[in-house]
Structure 1
């Protein structure tokens, strides 16, 4: 992971959950954590690592991830063993 990934990781694990995290930063963080990206229909995207799967809808038209998406990304990262 590079510095941008570590910064995004720290932001994802910050309480209270931030509503200003760009979705692309979360997506790049999950990819850096070796999660495989599976594109779905429309804005749906699935991340798979080992036996863990998490599904998201990319936010639009805004760039920022919703708070529930940040919480879901945090839970997925914890399940795959990634913590700041």
Structure 2
């Protein structure tokens, strides 16, 4: 895994939850892990990864991801044994 994606993964698992992770970096991490991303209604995106499908809300107008979303993503990655 490239350093950029590793850094995003580390930020995702950092305690306390970081509010400074750009959503575009999280999307790039998903793609690096092999995800298929599809546009949904409004600012939602569908992420198909780990034989599972999740729907996330793309953050706006701020590019930073909501802390609750980061916590949910961290738990999803942990469940599928993706840890820094």
What is the TM-score with the length of structure 2 in the denominator? Answer: 0.91
Structure 2's unaligned 5+ residue stretches are none
Q: How far 1:30 moved relative to its partner?
A: 1.1
Structure 2 partner of 1:5: 5
Matched residue SS, 1:5? helix
Q: How far 1:79 moved relative to its partner?
A: 2.8
| Deviation digits for residues 9-33 of structure 1 (CA, Å, limit 9, x no counterpart) | 0000011100111111111111111
The reply on whether 1:77 has 2:77 as its aligned counterpart is yes
Whether the 8 Å CA contact 1:13–1:74 is kept in 2: the answer is: yes
> Which stretch shifts more, 51-60 or 15-24?
51-60
Structure 1's unaligned 5+ residue stretches are none
After superposing on structure 2, the runs of 4+ consecutive aligned residues of structure 1 that deviate more than 3 Å are none
Whether the 8 Å CA contact 1:54–1:76 is kept in 2: the answer is: no
What is the TM-score with the length of structure 1 in the denominator? Answer: 0.91
